[in-house]
Structure 1
Amino acid sequence: MTITANRTLAIAAISLLIGLIVLGLKFLAWRITGSIALYSDALESIVNVVTAVAALVAVWLAQKPADAALPYGYHKAEYFSAVVVGVMIIVAAMLIVREAVLGFMAPTLPDAPVQGLAVSIVATMINMAWAYVLIRHGRSVRSPALQADGKHLMTDVVSTAGVVVGLVLVYLTGWAVLDAILAALVALNILWSGWAVIRDSVGGLMDVAVPKDIQHTIREVIASNAEGAIEAHDIRTRQAGKMTFIDFHLVVPGTMRVDAAHEICDTIEAKLREAVREVQITIHVEPEDKAKHSGIVVV
């Protein structure tokens, strides 16, 4: 593994450890207060732990080199991980809804407000700091699993902040049913987060094209480094985890020698690897009678 790959795997492992610590703190806050809202927050932390486990496994698999069974590599393992995370988030939301309904039926004021909220705030600060690390590193190495984990943690931070503010109001007003209302709002927030994670991951599993700005860069690199060719057409891209796949047809004069055409392909590939990190390129060379006079016209 490269230094970057080792660091990514280490971050995924640390994420699991932090998830367990935060889970313990949030369940402690719930046991101190008996608050349904804090219980819902603790349930969401169980999802965080499951997310961290899924991300760790996915990142480990994604580092494995391509082999005979999977010649294009294991990069899509991260998308499967993110789908699992999304499903677990939705399951947690349904459990929270159940507790909220019970709270509506028999509302009670939570106990020990100061101690419980203090523990919850400490857990939230840990989550916020680690979410920033996960999102930043996940983007830098283009890891869907780490980004999904970080985004969910940030959602957890937002929902916990809302719970803390709401519980302060519960204690100040004595309105016990507000505790159940807060739990229901947390559930809605989690459902939205789960849907977003699943939506983004399914796009990766469906071989979604790279973003438009990267497509534009790819076309510019081909156009400026295909001297001697006639045109490039049927340019296709797809993203699988951190790996970008590019394939296109390069039309050359029918009289061009094979080694000359190969040299043009080598030049284009070298420049694309400079412009797009972690890329696999397939170029199909065609004679000029196959020209479509579309795509990228070189001459």
Structure 2
Amino acid sequence: MANSSIDQLNKEKTSIARLSIVSNLSLVILKLIVGFMIGSVSVISEAIHSGIDLIAAVIAYFSVRNSSKPPDREHAFGHGKLENISGTIEALLIFVAAGLIIYEAYEKILHGVVLEDVSLGIAVMLISAIVNLYVSQRLMKTAKRTESIALEADAWHLRTDVLTSLGIFAGLVAIKLTGITILDPIFAILVALFILKAAVELLIKSVKDLMDVKLPEAEEKEICQIIEDHSKQYVGFHELRTRKSGSDRFIDLHLVVSRELTIEQAHGLADHIEEDLKKRFPRASVIIHMEPCENGDECGKCKAQDCSKYQYREEE
């Protein structure tokens, strides 16, 4: 991928992250005003939820801006893990938000619930669901295209906000119809439990890359297939290792070639395999360690065609 294309994707990432900040800030203010006006702990809990989403959006914005910086002397492997750190922090913030919601709801259950007219709450929850659905779809689309875990985490935050907003919306409608105000803190607790589940899933996903877990099985199979497309030009390969850092992938392997190849020819072969891998994984960093075949020219099991006479040429 050309540098201009990568720069364009980075600009797109920061732009959509900025949109998330603006929408979350607006919804936090709106929910807090309405929540305190009508005395609804479920609406206030949604304001807290959106507040966490706002913090997550700010973290995502700064992480996508900085994670796309090229490697430097202090960070030779790039800054991709900033996105994983961002996702981990966001997950921990969701745990805190869920705890606050459960505490406030429990207090309401103990001391009673007094609600004003819930019509404003119903309206703001519906508005919240529509806005977050729109922003989350744009975030997820950009996250998938740019492989940004920070934006994906932000998108999942907003998707859970859509569902919880609809849940509170349904609860407030039920309260308006039945007058049973205890439903308000009960729905707030259900919201907390729902976002706890999302926090656990996000935390696991973020920490996996921080621990340098190998790429998914499907991606490793693709990598092997790309390498095997050149099987007539080498003896074998082994020690394949992969990992991911933000949207950057790292691939290294040992490639066994004929002893008859010159350094220039072996280097050309390695370059060609690297180019093919980067066509499929544009942000990949590929290292290929070349090894001479130990069996010499008399081995009848060599995979390479006429390996002792092989002259590597770049394909046009």
TM over 0.5: yes
Tell whether the 8 Å contact from 2:121 to 2:169 is kept in structure 1 after alignment. no
CA-to-partner distance for each residue in 1:100-146, whole Å, 9 max, x for gaps?
11111122242122122112211221111101111111011000000
- Residue 215 of structure 2 is matched in structure 1 by 210
- Residue 15 of structure 2 is matched in structure 1 by 10
Tell whether the 8 Å contact from 1:108 to 1:177 is kept in structure 2 after alignment. yes
Tell whether the 8 Å contact from 2:143 to 2:149 is kept in structure 1 after alignment. yes
* SS of structure 2 residue aligned to 1:92: helix
Kindly indicate whether residue 92 of structure 2 is the aligned counterpart of residue 87 of structure 1. Answer: yes
Match for 2:56: what amino acid?
Answer: T
CA distance in 1, matches of 2:164, 2:248: 33
Question: Alpha-carbon deviation of 1:41?
Answer: 0.7
Kindly indicate whether residue 252 of structure 2 is the aligned counterpart of residue 247 of structure 1. Answer: yes
CA distance in 1, matches of 2:149, 2:68: 13
Question: Alpha-carbon deviation of 1:28?
Answer: 2.3
Match for 2:213: what amino acid?
Answer: V
Structure 1 spans left out of the alignment, 5+ residues: 292-296
- Residue 100 of structure 1 is matched in structure 2 by 105
Kindly indicate whether residue 227 of structure 2 is the aligned counterpart of residue 227 of structure 1. Answer: no
Kindly indicate whether residue 31 of structure 2 is the aligned counterpart of residue 26 of structure 1. Answer: yes
- Which of 171, 195, 198 is residue 190 of structure 1 equivalent to? 195
* SS of structure 2 residue aligned to 1:69: coil
The TM-score, its normalising length taken from structure 2, stands at 0.89
* The structure with more radius of gyration: 2
Tell whether the 8 Å contact from 1:251 to 1:290 is kept in structure 2 after alignment. no
CA distance in 2, matches of 1:204, 1:25: 36
CA-to-partner distance for each residue in 1:177-215, whole Å, 9 max, x for gaps?
111111111111111111111111001111122222221
Question: Alpha-carbon deviation of 1:31?
Answer: 2.3
Tell whether the 8 Å contact from 1:25 to 1:123 is kept in structure 2 after alignment. no
CA distance in 1, matches of 2:79, 2:41: 41
* SS of structure 2 residue aligned to 1:2: helix
Structure 2 spans left out of the alignment, 5+ residues: 1-5, 297-301, 305-316
Identity of aligned residues (%): 32
Match for 2:218: what amino acid?
Answer: D
Match for 1:241: what amino acid?
Answer: G
Aligned residues: 294
- Which of 284, 290, 294 is residue 285 of structure 1 equivalent to? 290
- Residue 294 of structure 1 is matched in structure 2 by none
Question: Alpha-carbon deviation of 1:154?
Answer: 0.3
Tell whether the 8 Å contact from 1:29 to 1:120 is kept in structure 2 after alignment. no
For residues 89-168 of structure 1, the aligned pairs below 5 Å read 89-168=94-173
Kindly indicate whether residue 213 of structure 2 is the aligned counterpart of residue 201 of structure 1. Answer: no
Kindly indicate whether residue 50 of structure 2 is the aligned counterpart of residue 45 of structure 1. Answer: yes
Kindly indicate whether residue 56 of structure 2 is the aligned counterpart of residue 55 of structure 1. Answer: no
Match for 1:255: what amino acid?
Answer: E
CA distance in 1, matches of 2:260, 2:120: 82
* SS of structure 1 residue aligned to 2:233: coil
Q: Hey, which bits of structure 1, 4+ residues long, moved more than 6 A?
A: none
Superposition RMSD on alpha carbons, in Å? 1.6
Match for 1:47: what amino acid?
Answer: I
Question: Alpha-carbon deviation of 1:94?
Answer: 0.5
Alpha carbons of structure 1 residues 290 and 73: separation in structure 2 relative to 1, 3 Å: farther
- Residue 275 of structure 1 is matched in structure 2 by 280
CA distance in 1, matches of 2:205, 2:97: 19
Match for 2:41: what amino acid?
Answer: I
Kindly indicate whether residue 266 of structure 2 is the aligned counterpart of residue 261 of structure 1. Answer: yes
* SS of structure 2 residue aligned to 1:281: strand
* SS of structure 1 residue aligned to 2:183: helix
* SS of structure 2 residue aligned to 1:239: strand
Tell whether the 8 Å contact from 2:128 to 2:162 is kept in structure 1 after alignment. no
Question: Alpha-carbon deviation of 1:290?
Answer: 8.8
Match for 2:73: what amino acid?
Answer: A
CA distance in 1, matches of 2:114, 2:187: 13
Question: Alpha-carbon deviation of 1:221?
Answer: 0.8
